[in-house]
Amino acid sequence: MKGKMDSVSLLRHARHDWLNQLQLIKGNLALDRTDRAKEIIDQVVQEAKNEAKVSNLKMPMLAELFLTYNWLQNQYRLDYEVIGTERDLSKYDQPLFEWTSCFLSEIEKHVVMDSEPHLMVTIQLFEDKVRISYDFAGVLDVQNIEQSMDSSQITVHNSIRIIESYSQENELLYILELG
């Protein structure tokens, strides 16, 4: 993973993303493809809602990582979704950021670029617990990533448990529980 961006770079990337979305909408309207333009608008609205939800969890380090990840030159795309009522998860920000950063780096090292690799992170906010699933789809060097994940390189903070993990050639799944 690359370094932290300055404010001007962040704003430039955000503006670039919005202009790209507007160009897609404008182009589809010009081609009289209003249904496709509506789909893009719905997608943009959903992405904005997810950005707001992840920002409202009071985990600024993790939120910045998710919000800016696709702006960097990474091997795969990261998407995220927050399900449930937002709440203050600030005490988990540092350990989750550290674990997630290491996890993303390990995937980056072991992804095979024969496909369109994609990581979906889902934060589920239940009444009594929080679960975060990291579901990677794409070709991976499974043997080496399993060794890396099992090694001490990626440690889990005492307030975070890995409750499920699964890997095969085209998929990697980790589910964490906070508490």
Residue 72: what pLDDT?
Answer: 85
Hey, CA dihedral for 142, 147, 153, 157, is it positive or negative?
positive
Average pLDDT over residues 137-163: 74
pLDDT tens-digit map of 3-16: 677 889 888 888 99
**Could you tell me the pTM of the whole model?**
0.87
Kindly list the domain boundaries of the chain, sorted by start residue: 7-178
pLDDT tens-digit map of 73-87: 888 999 999 999 999
Categorise residue 170: left if φ over 0, alpha if ψ from -120 to 50, beta otherwise.
alpha
Q: Cα–Cα distance between 62 and 104 in angstroms, integer?
A: 12
Domain 7-178 has CATH 3.30.565.30: yes
